[in-house]
Amino acid sequence: MPGLGTSYGRGGATSSARDLQDADCIVIMGSNFAENHPVGFRFVLRARDKGAKVLHIDPRFTRTSAMSSDYVPMRSGTDIVFLGALINYALQNDKYFKEYVVNYTNAPFIIKEEYQDTEDLEGIFSGFDPEKKTYDNSSWAYEREEVVLPEGEPANLSERLAREKLVGRPKRDETLQHPRSVFQLMKKHYARYTPEMVEEICGTSKEEFLMVAETVTANSTPERTTTFCYAMGWTQHTYGVQTIRAGAILQGLLGNMGRPGGGILALRGHANVQGATDLSTLWNSLPGYLDMPAKAREHDTLEDFLRAQMRPTSFWQNYPKYLISLLKAWYGDAATAANDFGYDAIPKTLGNHSHYKMFEDAYNGVIKGMMVIGQNPAVGGQNASFHRKALANLDWLVVKDPFLIETATFWYEAPEVKNGTVKAEDIGTEVFYLPSTVFAETEGSFTNTSRLLQTKEKAADPPGDCRSDLWFTYELGKKLKDLYKDSTAKRDWGIKNLTWDYEPDVNPRFKIQEPSEHKIIKEINGYDIATGAPLPGFGDLQDDGSTACGCWIYTGVLPEETVNRAANREGDDYQYLNWGFAWPANRRNLYNRASARPDGKPWSERKKYIWWDEAEQKWTGFDVPDFAATKAPDTPAVPGGVGLAAQSGKDPFLMLPDGVIQLFAPAGLADGPLPTHYEPPDTPVSTNLLYPNQTFSPTAVIFDHLPNNKVHGANNSDYPFVITTYRVTEHHLSGAMTRWLPWLAELMPELFLEISPELASELGVQNKDYVTVETARGKIEAKALVTKRMRPLKVEGKMVHTVGMPIHWGYSGISTGSVPNDLSAIVADPNVFIHSSKAFTCNVKKGRLPGGVA
């Protein structure tokens, strides 16, 4: 999500699936939309039926390709070359949206003289430390004017801290001619990303590329808009964040952001990825995208932390209000100004604790116990056999799931136990399997891919001792609080004082009572501590301890005690503002101020969406304006102003420090201010044609110290084929919610490997023959599915074959098979530590594994 966040200000998808029907062109890249989000795909088809162009750019021909206007093949993992070439095409041919770019992006901003580009340094940016494999980004900063300090006394803590951090405004050149303007630096950076280079690296013909470039730019004008849709095909790379950045830059240059039928629709993979991130069960964040304090940063005290994390010239200037309200929600009356509102009780991260590091710590015995609730790492994790080794090294493991999934059964059903390599008796892990409810047996809400919260109700009690995840966490919390109730140790202050009253609102219909959803959603929404009344919006949150709020971006979902807007069910055929609640503040299309010109008038009648109503002196339109409601377009930025006062009436991207799109990201990313092509850690080519001295990303995180986790490198003749993994419509993730369902198991009964007819003929393989697939990490078997959907591409003067395999299988359930994720390596992007499962290499041979499943 930092890809979108650093570019536009928020990590969420910028539009809704519904908004696609207003697009004139839809580019689907890195997503098999039709098969993986089938019902949302209706809106793509509606657009197509109204005359929109739908382009599918992907290594595989899928049902998405079949339903698109055009399918354009490419080699997996080379998206940045393709997107960089689109950026270059728009810049070289004057096909960018000039008025939008000058006013709504940082294209005019001047970068420091010290900055050096990958063009200067053969594939790396200035500030690289080759030993640590990290960048010092100080040379990527803007040149700034003298700082102006405000007069008078600050009104509150947030204002005081913002003033301490104020810097001068960035220098600009609105003619875009300054050689160190972002515009000119970008032009230079992408100059060699040409159609010819696309043909060489991606394997896409020059003609096909130019068709895409012409179609996209022709449909990105004041009258027309283009949308991009992406999914894991963009994200799951060691440079995943930079791929999204490349798309984000392009959409900024083309002026498609904040406009109807524009934007970037990130297609999340699970019912509540968005909510789980928002609220947040992720190692590095607290609810509402507040940061976890870190030992390595200046986070010693609450004030240190707030000073370090707040951004004084954006909406994030309010950071202290959100964090202090969170601490009040968690520690109640015990949180006071005198004890920093309990800040010390929040643990400080000691380094990286992301998924793969966490399993490394489990493998090494640092982590003793693990609770796995609704995930299946024994087959779902990359290099899944390493995950099973880590599970076998735990002292104890809780698996809570509706079915006996592989993570619960690894100690007797895993391939290495079945084939005798590991004995069950030698595995010391104490395992608790707790049977779970399914979605229909609990109430609660999901936040969909368009940031829309929708509630569901409980239909029936679960069977036997099955309990909801919420019940488990609440009861566990009660027991732990009881165990610590008499402790006077300082380190137990947090658990002792944690507010923990969610006793059920008893529903006589059911025997099993759930923790009170109302109490939880009220705490998430926020309330006034003195009156107990819910707060209608995040503008009401304070930094003095007078408000409590669990997740500020969700404030407004419960504006009154009896009104839960996530349960609103009045649909309509436009933006359905009365169906569910979209964060923030029920806005459906983010940054929609940009749908109007700088003067507040719509860019065109056809693409009218939000505009300034001169008579009423407020913003109005078809959505909730993503802007201060009465801030006129001609409002100047206040010199020395903090928060939104530092931004003018024409700055639509209010979460970012200067209110405009960051085409160039001066901070916030570990691997560079501009997306740059590198090859995946396993690649079929011998070099990076763009930067021959820098084949791989210099900052990619490679876990090569883990057992059986070697990468293949460039042009490794033992592993000549590219393999890409994916999902099918009938299964979900590791299969935990589908391979136990007879209907779905019958519809899609077994694992397969998609192979082109050309490769099948080379290997002497017929359709439905067994093949073994091997990497340095593992060896599995599957049935061959010989299909023209897979096509070899000419790259580096040779034919490169790609094979494809769905990820859903494992050794438990009613449809079983080899574990596809045993093949991939644990490698990661340096920003978010996402793995690389879309482009690695393998060997394929005819025949089964000896003795069946390895």
Can you give the C-alpha Rg of the chain in angstroms? Answer: 27
Q: For 229, phi and psi rounded to 5 degrees?
A: -120, 135
Give the separation between CA 560 and CA 554, rounded to whole angstroms: 14
For residue 282, CA distances in Å to 291, 353, 809 come to: 10, 9, 26
Check residue 661 and report its DSSP letter: B
Cβ-based neighbours of 532, under 8 Å, separated by 6 or more:
none
Residue of the chain from 211, 434, 529, 853 that contacts another protein (CB under 8 A): 434
776 binds another protein (CB under 8 A): no
280 binds another protein (CB under 8 A): yes
**Choices 49-57, 436-444, 688-696, 712-720 (CB under 8 A): range interacting with another protein:** 436-444
Residue of the chain from 393, 429, 513, 546 that contacts another protein (CB under 8 A): 429
Contact 624, 587 (CB under 8 A): yes
Footprint of another protein on 218-257 (CB under 8 A): 232, 235, 240
503 binds another protein (CB under 8 A): no
Torsion of CA 331, 335, 340, 345, to 10 degrees: -30
Footprint of another protein on 780-819 (CB under 8 A): 813-814
Shortest distance, position 126 Cβ to another protein, whole Å: 28
HSE-up of 164 (CA within 13 Å, CB side)? 13
Check residue 621 and report its DSSP letter: E
Residue of the chain from 98, 368, 601, 768 that contacts another protein (CB under 8 A): 368
Contact 341, 330 (CB under 8 A): no
Q: For 449, phi and psi rounded to 5 degrees?
A: -65, -15
Give the separation between CA 645 and CA 684, rounded to whole angstroms: 52
Check residue 753 and report its DSSP letter: E
Residue of the chain from 141, 438, 638, 853 that contacts another protein (CB under 8 A): 438
Nearer to another protein, 101 or 654 (CB): 654
470 binds another protein (CB under 8 A): yes
Shortest distance, position 704 Cβ to another protein, whole Å: 20
Give the separation between CA 758 and CA 202, rounded to whole angstroms: 19
Shortest distance, position 207 Cβ to another protein, whole Å: 33
Nearer to another protein, 226 or 277 (CB): 277
Shortest distance, position 607 Cβ to another protein, whole Å: 15
What is the distance of C-alpha 14 from the center of its chain? Answer: 12
Give the separation between CA 103 and CA 125, rounded to whole angstroms: 27
Instruction: List the structure tokens of 657.
Output: 């420090």
Shortest distance, position 210 Cβ to another protein, whole Å: 31
Residue of the chain from 191, 337, 483, 506 that contacts another protein (CB under 8 A): 483
20 binds another protein (CB under 8 A): no
Residue of the chain from 439, 708, 720, 849 that contacts another protein (CB under 8 A): 439
Residue of the chain from 504, 536, 713, 749 that contacts another protein (CB under 8 A): 536
Cβ-based neighbours of 99, under 8 Å, separated by 6 or more:
255, 597, 598
For residue 258, CA distances in Å to 215, 263, 351, 401, 586 come to: 20, 6, 36, 40, 15
**Choices 76-84, 109-117, 248-256, 391-399 (CB under 8 A): range interacting with another protein:** 391-399
3-state secondary structure of 619: strand
Give the separation between CA 645 and CA 152, rounded to whole angstroms: 15
Footprint of another protein on 734-773 (CB under 8 A): 737-738, 740-744, 747
Footprint of another protein on 606-625 (CB under 8 A): 618-625
Q: For 805, phi and psi rounded to 5 degrees?
A: -145, 135
For residue 45, CA distances in Å to 14, 37, 261, 823 come to: 20, 13, 13, 36
Footprint of another protein on 510-529 (CB under 8 A): 515, 517, 520-521, 523-524
Instruction: List the structure tokens of 342.
Output: 């309990």
Residue of the chain from 147, 191, 337, 440 that contacts another protein (CB under 8 A): 440
Nearer to another protein, 58 or 208 (CB): 58
576 binds another protein (CB under 8 A): yes
Shortest distance, position 256 Cβ to another protein, whole Å: 22
Residue of the chain from 490, 530, 797, 850 that contacts another protein (CB under 8 A): 490
Shortest distance, position 747 Cβ to another protein, whole Å: 6
**Choices 470-478, 647-655, 675-683, 699-707 (CB under 8 A): range interacting with another protein:** 470-478
**Choices 95-103, 209-217, 653-661, 833-841 (CB under 8 A): range interacting with another protein:** 833-841
Instruction: Kindly provide the b/e burial profile for residues 51-63, where b requires at least 16 CB atoms within 10 angstroms of the residue's own CB.
Output: ebbbbbbbbbbbb
**Choices 134-142, 280-288, 653-661, 672-680 (CB under 8 A): range interacting with another protein:** 280-288
Q: Where are the beta strands (DSSP E) in 181-316?
A: 226-230, 264-266, 285-286, 290-291
**Choices 19-27, 252-260, 281-289, 838-846 (CB under 8 A): range interacting with another protein:** 281-289
Shortest distance, position 556 Cβ to another protein, whole Å: 5
Nearer to another protein, 290 or 854 (CB): 290
Cβ-based neighbours of 268, under 8 Å, separated by 6 or more:
13, 231, 274, 448, 449
For residue 605, CA distances in Å to 95, 101, 588, 649 come to: 21, 20, 20, 21
578 binds another protein (CB under 8 A): yes
Footprint of another protein on 282-321 (CB under 8 A): 282-283, 286-287, 292, 295, 300
Nearer to another protein, 464 or 851 (CB): 464
Where do we find the tokens 């594939």? Answer: 123
Q: How many residues bind another protein (CB under 8 A)?
A: 189
Contact 59, 75 (CB under 8 A): yes
Footprint of another protein on 700-729 (CB under 8 A): 729
34: enclosing H helix or E strand: helix 33-36
Footprint of another protein on 322-341 (CB under 8 A): 330
Give the separation between CA 77 and CA 678, rounded to whole angstroms: 9
Shortest distance, position 379 Cβ to another protein, whole Å: 14
177 binds another protein (CB under 8 A): no
Where do we find the tokens 């030992």? Answer: 295
Nearer to another protein, 196 or 430 (CB): 430
279 binds another protein (CB under 8 A): yes
Shortest distance, position 542 Cβ to another protein, whole Å: 18
402 binds another protein (CB under 8 A): yes
275 binds another protein (CB under 8 A): yes
210 binds another protein (CB under 8 A): no
Shortest distance, position 775 Cβ to another protein, whole Å: 21
Footprint of another protein on 441-460 (CB under 8 A): 441-442, 444-450, 452-460
Contact 676, 124 (CB under 8 A): no
Instruction: List the structure tokens of 631.
Output: 């801030």
Nearer to another protein, 195 or 247 (CB): 247
